[in-house]
Structure formats: C-alpha cells, structure tokens
Amino acid sequence: MVLSQRGLKILIAGGASDSHGWNLVFLDLLLGESGHRVVNLGPCVSAALLLRECRAHTPDLVVVSSVNGHGYRDGLSVIGGLRAEPALAGVPVVIGGKLGVEGVRDEAATRRLLTAGFAAVFDDADVSAFLDRVSCLAERGWCAVSSKCAP
C-alpha cells in the first residue's frame, strides 16, 4: 500500500484512564505538520469508544498516547477489541508516551503489549523514531522490523 501522495489518516487517542491532553495536542500538530490527516479523540478514550471511532473512520494508523503512567494497563484494555475486529485487521496500532510509573522502559511490559497486538511501543522520548515509522508506513506500508524503516 503506497500512500505517500496523500498522507495517512491517523487516529489518536488518550488512554482510558488518562486525563492529560497536551500530549494529544502535540501529536496532532506533529502529525498534521508532517502532512497527515489526524482524527484526535482526546483523553480518556474507552475501549468501546475507540473501537466505534475506528470502525467509523477506518484509519491507516491508530496511536494510543499515555502520560499518567498507566499506558500499559490502558493499552491492554483496548488492543484486544481492535485486533478482534476483522475490518481493522490490517491497521497498525501503536502506543507511546509514559507507559509506566517507574520512568524507565519496562521490557517485559513492552513485549506483552507487542504480543497483545500493538505494532510498536514507543517511549516518550522516541518521537523521531515514531515519525520515521509513520513516514515509512506512508511510503511502503508498515515494516514489522524497525531497522527496515531507516532512510
């Protein structure tokens, strides 16, 4: 799927427990200024709301953002429903931000999120790696192996 001529439709959402909002404004502007069309669902997005909006918008990419430190739990609460929906089978869903309360990357939690169906997990500082993967998706489709996205 080559989408570079028109940008991607990207749906962004805060975790179900997460009331922080400026992270979503940041992602919205970042992706919009990179040429993508953004549907920003705002904070505190439940699994049911996310699934409904994904069905309605059929995005090319879904981004779940966490700041309050409960991204791991919030991520697991939404990914099962998205991955069980046949219409969304080919849509990568990624998660990023402050995923835990320890302030360090938790490799076991990252693996569990990937196993549950997330296509990638980004730390809050991984913004340029995230943008590389998004550009790669727009040009060549989703690369399961991030090193293949290198320019």
Q: Which residues bind ligand B12 (CB under 6 A)?
A: 17-23, 26-27, 63, 65, 67-69, 94, 96-98, 101, 103, 122, 124, 126-127, 130
Which residue has its beta carbon closest to ligand B12? 96
Tell me whether residue 24 or residue 51 sits nearer to ligand B12 (CB atom).
Answer: 24
- Distance, in Å, from the CA atom of 8 to the CA atom of 4, rounded to the nearest integer, reads 8
How far apart are CB 138 and ligand B12 at their closest, in Å?
A: 15
Cα 129 to Cα 55, 70, 111, 149, 150: the distances in Å are: 27, 22, 18, 9, 9
How far apart are CB 58 and ligand B12 at their closest, in Å?
A: 20
Q: How many CA atoms lie within 13 A of 56 on its CB side?
A: 9
Tell me whether residue 86 or residue 151 sits nearer to ligand B12 (CB atom).
Answer: 151
Tell me whether residue 1 or residue 25 sits nearer to ligand B12 (CB atom).
Answer: 25
**Alpha carbon 36 to its chain's center:** 14
Tell me whether residue 86 or residue 103 sits nearer to ligand B12 (CB atom).
Answer: 103
Phi (first) and psi of residue 65, to 5 degrees: -115, 135
